[in-house]
A and B are shown apart, each in its own frame.
Chain A
């Protein structure tokens, strides 16, 4: 199906909401913007060919996985805005722009259009973060995030991958794409912007990256390892594997000592490190594990990106349980599949890095569960917000109980 209805819905609803809602003083209605996009995505669900980056001319058709992801992202953004309405129209506008751009990126057959969507999305996100909280960390988000996406566009003239088999060209294409992914995922040494931004912005301001751009980037780069020529595959893996391992260990270690409101970004970064390691291997289990971890974070993200002081403690506790890695939580299945793929692809040595990370994330989650009852919401939430707070945690548990059925139903995978 064409991506046009979803992208146009995102754009039009975003502009209308940004212009009208602040005047009408109805900030809670901002959730209607991603909800409208979700309805548009629902009508276009099914059909189409799966995207292989740098595939073929024509493009702008959503595959089954892509249309499922667009729907999930829009629903996650809806929940996020229900739980914490944006402070002004600019927030809604950036969210809608990133939603439209991520949908187009998911549908793009041209690597150039794909890359430009991420450049525009990360640049807008950076500008918004700087406007919301001017600081070194938010400026770094604009600098590094945009430059990383720009590196991916720079790779596009050296693609498609099947003719990029000549060594200097293959190495350059692989390195540029891996560098762009590392910047977008917030991997060490390019990840300071996520950690710093996570300290300064919360809720709807974090949603465009965590709930819209990041899942689109992950889904679109997953086929690369399988379609790259061997020279590009070596460079791609040589960058992402160590960067992912160091990022996962570093983020998990920092998460152990992080205060309550900064735990979730650290866990997300640690999981992204594991996912980046999974991108370095063409094993199918790595793909499934990455998708399950992405689904988990799409489920719990809308709740856990909020300020703990403003969120209901019980659903928050349940969300942390789903994220802890205890079976049958969805994070357990995702990390288990990833670890299995990594050990069969690179040997057991990687367990030295991966197992402490999973252990640390369990400890972080336990600490968060213990801390959750102490956090008292500043104001009593309305019935819609109370209901919305339970949805992410319950959705995550459902994914954990039925992992392969969820992947098949939501993304058409498995």
Chain B
């Protein structure tokens, strides 16, 4: 049965929406899970079950690694910490907030991802086109998330979604060392979760120390 491309694109679009909008303490996990779930149908249709396992494993590891890293960092109380949720630079009052800017940037990604998907052939063995749209869209939204980042958490969300999107694109392209290469790329998601969790845990550990005389 031929894959239903509009359906694959629709699922990828929903994943991109989550990657663009998600905020809060568990944003890295939600973004990684959404990106993985949104791209799983594409990689399953064009590569196989191995690819689904890699993306699912990366998402699961991201969910586990963040809290573990945070708990570990909380115990290392001799370090000071910055809060990854607090904007690095205080923004001035503006008509549009950071989330609106992200949405506007993501809207610009939509036609670009579509053009790349239908006009640029993919892979070394085949020149299939039209299958890259979900991965390109998630990658673009992660890139915009990086470009418009105000907090360290935005950076972590961007890196996590980007790693999963590139892993999916690598499966679709069937590049050199497909499985190990995609696993390396997908490892960016747990890596980002570990970093964000570590920063959150250190900040949590530093707070009582500051409060005490």
Contacts and interface: CB of A to CB of B under 8 A. Distances in A.
Nearest to A90: B79
Interface stretch (B4-12, B94-102, B117-125): B117-125
B43 interface: no
B123 to A, nearest CB: 7
B120 A169 contact: yes
Interface in B132-175: 132, 139, 142-143, 146-150, 152, 155, 158-159, 162-163, 166, 169-170, 172-173, 175
24 contacts: A57-B177, A58-B177, A109-B177, A110-B180, A112-B184, A112-B185, A113-B181, A116-B163, A116-B166, A119-B162, A120-B159, A120-B191, A123-B159, A124-B195, A127-B152, A127-B199, A134-B89, A142-B149, A142-B155, A143-B147, A147-B147, A147-B158, A157-B172, A169-B120
A113 B187 CA distance: 11
Nearest to A124: B195
Given A22-B78, A90-B79, A156 B188 contact: no
Interface of A: 22-23, 54, 56-59, 88-90, 109-113, 115-116, 119-120, 123-124, 126-127, 130-131, 134-136, 138-139, 142-144, 146-147, 150-151, 153-154, 156-160, 163, 166, 168-169, 172
B185 A153 contact: yes
B146 to A, nearest CB: 5
Nearest to A145: B146
Contacts of B176: 54, 56-57, 59, 109-110, 160
B88 interface: yes
* Most B-side CB within 10 Å, residue of A57, A112, A120: A112
Interface string B182-213: 10110110011001000100000000000000
Nearest to A19: B76
A88 to B, nearest CB: 7
Interface of B: 78-79, 81-82, 88-89, 116, 119-124, 127, 132, 139, 142-143, 146-150, 152, 155, 158-159, 162-163, 166, 169-170, 172-173, 175-177, 180-182, 184-185, 187-188, 191-192, 195, 199
A150 B119 contact: no
A166 B185 contact: no
Contacts of B191: 120
